[in-house]
A and B are shown apart, each in its own frame.
Chain A
Amino acid sequence: MSSVVVYNLVKTYAGGDRRATDGVSLEVADGEFLVLVGPSGCGKTTLLRMVAGLETPDSGTVSIGGRDVTYLPPRQRGLSMVFQSYAIFPHMKVRQNIGFGLTMRKVPRDEFDRRVKRAAELLHLEEYLDRYPAQLSGGQRQRVAVARAIVVDAAVLLMDEPLSNLDALLRLQFRAELKRIVGQLGTTTLYVTHDQAEAMSLGDRVAVMRDGRVAQLGAPLAVYDRPADRFVGGFLGSPPMNFLTARVGGGALAVGDASLQAPDHLSTWEGRDVVVGVRAENIQVATEPAAGWVPARIEVVEPTGAALLLTVRLADEQLKVQAPATFPAAPDARVHLRAEPAALRFYDPESGLALDA
């Protein structure tokens, strides 16, 4: 078992005019499952590939288990990887595919069989060992790719969007299975995805990346609950966090005609605009007016089964509100909203950064 430490990694692709990663530093602790998440082009895959040894950084270092591996070829880094396209070898049977890493390490025959069998059992592939990948479904190929990665017992496991080629239902099933397997093995794992739900559900910690930098790094729920900037709040969660502009004045926040109580730490913003962030599930909704509740008008009603997703208009702002499935909602109806002061987050309208309490 070993940790992965990435220090100040800079990479610009030949012919590219901006940095794919721009001085990224982070540490994946021994046995930790860290998810790199971000929109396409944020540098997450580049970062993963530099850890794998498939790319060489312009500057900075990568160390695995305390050893500087920045310029070592992949095979000397003691890691293993699951690729987005699976990268299963079509000319080899499943058995040879799973055991490829063992063949390369010249593992003896009986141990080879034993380990391949165990990995195949773990991924329910026992029946398919003598088939060629072309005879497998997409989900089964994915299992082969994962089996191949875990059979070598590498200290570090890298995964590059391993679920993105599966259909929605399969993805959900396999996500849980992957979490179970990796949890059992306890391998240090670096996992790349663009899917925020995947990041939330899998990671011990998530690193949200944007434009070659880490925007925020922390436990999934902490990052979800307290986004460090507007980008993270908008990226993580579905629906994304609501943002509305409010003016601070006399200890209150004015959103259009409505007014909320302003927390003390906003006193330095007296007379200026701030951005208020609030999650859809943290907004309460009622049909009748009450003191401290703000009136709004429903624009769209979207039942999701477990709840109702309302798009409401409050002054000039549009908000996503999660209401109970039984809530009597209709387009154009008037509703009243309220949010716990503790659920509100505040951001600088210029920089988009969170205003600390």
Chain B
Amino acid sequence: MTGKRARVPAAVLLIAPSLVVMTALFAWPLVVGVGQAFSGPDGPTLGYVRRMLDDPYFWPAVRNTGLLIVVLIPIQFAFALTMALLLRERPRLAGLHFYVWVIPLAISDLAAGLVWLSVFADRGYLNSVLDHLGVDGYAWLSYQNTTTMFLAVVVAELWRSTSLVLVIVVAGLQGIPKDYDEAAAVFGATYWQRLRHVVLPQLRPSLQVALILRTILALETFAVAQALTGRSLPLLVGETYQWYNVLQNPNVATAIALVVLAVSMLAAAGYLRLLRDRTAAR
């Protein structure tokens, strides 16, 4: 409750640089990007968009990206919730477990791909273990085995990105006063009833935020698949990379990027709606 009126200029002064930086590096590129995607040397054109749509890799990339989100995210959330609830039981060495579980927070998707490459490669550790057990190896990452290739990417992403959900859920759990849970226990609720009726409803805001954030990030999955499969498993952002770096066509690259943006914005709109709902509810 401090006097604000006289200090408004100070606040504006402090905020201004960040606004300038973000406008210059967010808004301006967006405008330029739209120009790149929709105008060629001879004025406005849909040619780049058409080339994008006609590219044999585009629709598989859309399908793979969508499939990845649909398969990965539910597993990931179940996994993160399990981890958070396990930690809540205060197991022995909880600190160590938590440390190991959140290490991937700081691991890039490229590094994660390389880590799992050592496991899934033809002469990698998984096949080595199988060999020790007397089972024949399998070409997990071969372009002929699309299912295992896809699953390898899912496993690597599950390994890498679940920690983000975990941290959000753990923070959310900490925000729930233990009283409610204890009260429910006093009134005879079983563990599952408490989870279902007390813990999860209060965790909903955290879960929603994590869900939207992870959806947006999953849309950008790319280096994991690059490291594990090259272009055998095309993903949307990977295609941008291909068009830009390999095919040297920034215009089509931008067109694909704008598709990613459009989908992300839809998710972000959900994010904001949700945020507003919660402020209104408060």
Decide if B4 is an interface residue (CB 8 Å cutoff).
yes
A13 to chain B: closest residue by CB: B1
Whether, in the assembled complex, B2 has its beta carbon less than 8 Å from a beta carbon of chain A, the answer is: yes
Docked pose: A11 CA to B4 CA in angstroms: 12
Complex CA gap A54/B2 in Å reads: 7
Q: Is the CB of B2 within 8 A of A56?
A: no
Question: Which residues of the other chain, B, contact A54 by a CB distance below 8 angstroms?
Answer: 2-3
List, in ascending order, chain B residues with CB within 8 A of A14's CB: 3-5
* B1-27 CB contacts (< 8 Å) to partner A: 1-6
**A55 in contact (CB, < 8 A):** yes
- How many whole Å from A158's CB to the nearest CB in chain B? 16
Within 8 A of B (CB), among A41-73: 54-56
CB-CB under 8 A from A11, the residues of chain B are 3
Bound: A147/B179 CA distance, A: 40
Size category of the binding interface on chain B: under 10
Note all chain B residues with C-beta closer than 8 A to A55: 2-3
In the bound complex, how far is the Cα of B14 from the Cα of A90, in angstroms? 26
Q: Contacts of B6 on A, CB cut-off 8 Å? A: 56
Q: How far is the CA of A54 from the CA of B1 in the complex (A)?
A: 10
A14–B2 Cα distance when bound, in Å, is: 9
Q: Is the interface of B mostly helix, strand, loop or mixed?
A: loop
Alpha-carbon separation in the docked complex, A163 to B276 (Å)? 40
- For A13, the chain B residues whose CB sits under 8 A away are 1, 3-4
Whole-angstrom CA separation of A13 from B1 in the bound complex: 8
In the complex, which residues 253-269 of chain A have their Cβ closer than 8 Å to any Cβ of chain B?
none
- B4's nearest neighbour on chain A, judged by CB, is A14
User: In the docked arrangement, what's the CA distance between A56 and B2, Å?
Assistant: 10
Q: Of residues 1 to 18 in A, which have CB atoms within 8 Å of B's CB atoms?
A: 11, 13-14
Chain B residues near A56 (CB-CB < 8 A): 3, 5-6
0/1 per residue, A159-179, Cβ < 8 Å to B? 000000000000000000000
Q: Chain A contacts of B1 at CB under 8 A?
A: 13
Chain A nearest Cβ from B60, distance in angstroms: 54
Q: Across the interface, which residues of A come within 8 angstroms of B2, CB to CB?
A: 54-55
In the complex formed, the residue of A with least CB distance to B1 is: A13
CA distance A62 to B244 in the complex (A): 68
B5 nearest in chain A by CB position: A14
Report the minimum CB–CB distance from A83 to chain B (whole Å).
Answer: 13
- Bound-complex Cα distance A13 to B6 (A): 11
B232 to chain A, nearest CB (A): 56
The residue in chain A whose Cβ has the minimal distance to the Cβ of B6 is A56
Specify which chain A residues have a CB less than 8 angstroms from the CB of B4 in the assembled complex: 13-14
Q: How many angstroms from the CA of A14 to the CA of B6 in the assembled complex?
A: 10
- The residue among B3, B5, B6 with the most chain A CB atoms within 10 A of its own CB is B3
Bound together, the chains give a CA A54 to CA B6 distance in angstroms of 11
Q: Mark B209-236, 1 if CB is under 8 A from A, else 0.
A: 0000000000000000000000000000
Q: What's the minimum C-beta distance from A82 to chain B, rounded to whole angstroms?
A: 18
Nearest chain-B residue to A16 (Cβ)? B1
The closest CB in chain A to the CB of B3 belongs to: A55
Residues of A within 8 A of B3 (CB): 11, 13-14, 54-56
In the complex, how many angstroms separate the beta carbon of A44 from the nearest chain B beta carbon?
13
Report the nearest B residue to A46, measured CB to CB: B1
| B11 → A minimal CB distance (Å) | 12
- Rounded to whole angstroms, the CA-CA distance of A292 and B6 in the bound complex is 64
Q: How far is the CA of A161 from the CA of B6 in the complex (A)?
A: 26
The chain A residue with its CB closest to the CB of B8 is: A14
Alpha-carbon distance A201/B262, docked complex (angstroms): 68
Residues of A within 8 A of B5 (CB): 14, 56
How near does chain B come to A46, taking the closest CB pair, in angstroms?
A: 8
User: Interface code A109-132, partner B: CB below 8 Å = 1, 0 otherwise?
Assistant: 000000000000000000000000
A15 to chain B, nearest CB (A): 8
State in angstroms the CA–CA spacing of A55 and B1 once bound together.
10
Closest to A15 in B: B4
Instruction: Please report the C-alpha to C-alpha distance between residue A293 and residue B5 in the assembled complex, in whole angstroms.
Output: 61
Q: In whole angstroms, how far apart are the Cα atoms of A200 and B6 in the complex?
A: 37
A104 to B2 Cα, complex, angstroms: 23
Give the nearest-CB partner of A55 in chain B: B3
A11–B8 Cα gap in the complex (Å)? 17
Tell me the complex Cα distance, A13–B2, Å: 8
Complex CA gap A56/B4 in Å reads 9
- Distance A11 CA – B3 CA, assembled complex (angstroms): 9
Bound state CA distance, A11 and B2, in angstroms?
A: 12
Closest to A11 in B: B3
Give me the interface of A with B, judged by CB distance under 8 Å. Answer: 11, 13-14, 54-56
| Chain B interface (Cβ < 8 Å from any Cβ of A) | 1-6
Nearest 10 pairs between A and B by C-beta? A55-B3, A14-B4, A14-B5, A56-B3, A56-B6, A13-B1, A54-B2, A55-B2, A13-B3, A14-B3
Offer 14 A-B interface pairs, CB within 8 angstroms, sorted by A.
A11-B3, A13-B1, A13-B3, A13-B4, A14-B3, A14-B4, A14-B5, A54-B2, A54-B3, A55-B2, A55-B3, A56-B3, A56-B5, A56-B6
Q: Apart from A13-B1, A13-B4, list 12 A-B contacts with CB within 8 A.
A: A11-B3, A13-B3, A14-B3, A14-B4, A14-B5, A54-B2, A54-B3, A55-B2, A55-B3, A56-B3, A56-B5, A56-B6
